């Protein structure tokens, strides 16, 4: 079973696929507002030996992307506030 989880307000859905004798590590990341999708991103990572490894890589990579997004949004807010001074 492929896990789906919520992390910092983003929905993470790993989507590993088979390719020859490996699993492609892929993930969909969505920011939702009720039933409405505000933002979505699809990321591909390196192929791995097992489906479990591909799922974990997708989750870890999604969390890294979400953390960077949060950091960028936070910095943008700080920059905007500094410009008002």
Tens digit of each residue's pLDDT (9 = 90 or more) over 10-66:
999 999 999 889 999 999 999 988 888 889 999 999 999 999 999 999 999 999 999
The answer to whether the beta carbons of residues 26 and 56 sit under 8 Å apart is no
Please state which architecture CATH assigns to domain 5-84. Answer: 2-Layer Sandwich (3.30)
Q: Write down the pLDDT at residue 75.
A: 63
For the stretch 69-80, pLDDT in tens is 888 877 665 455
Residue-range domain boundaries for the chain: 5-84
Q: 4 versus 66: which is more confidently predicted?
A: 66
d(CA 10, CA 77): 19
Do the Cβ atoms of 62 and 56 come closer than 8 Å? no
């Amino acid at each position: 079973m492929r896990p789906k989880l919520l992390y910092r307000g983003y929905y993470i859905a790993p989507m590993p696929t088979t390719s020859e004798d490996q699993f492609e590590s892929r993930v969909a990341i969505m920011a939702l507002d009720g039933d409405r999708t505000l933002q979505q991103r699809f990321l591909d990572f390196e192929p791995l030996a097992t489906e479990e490894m591909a799922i974990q890589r997708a989750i870890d990579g999604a969390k890294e992307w979400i953390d960077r997004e949060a950091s960028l949004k936070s910095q943008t807010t700080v920059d905007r506030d500094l410009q008002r001074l």
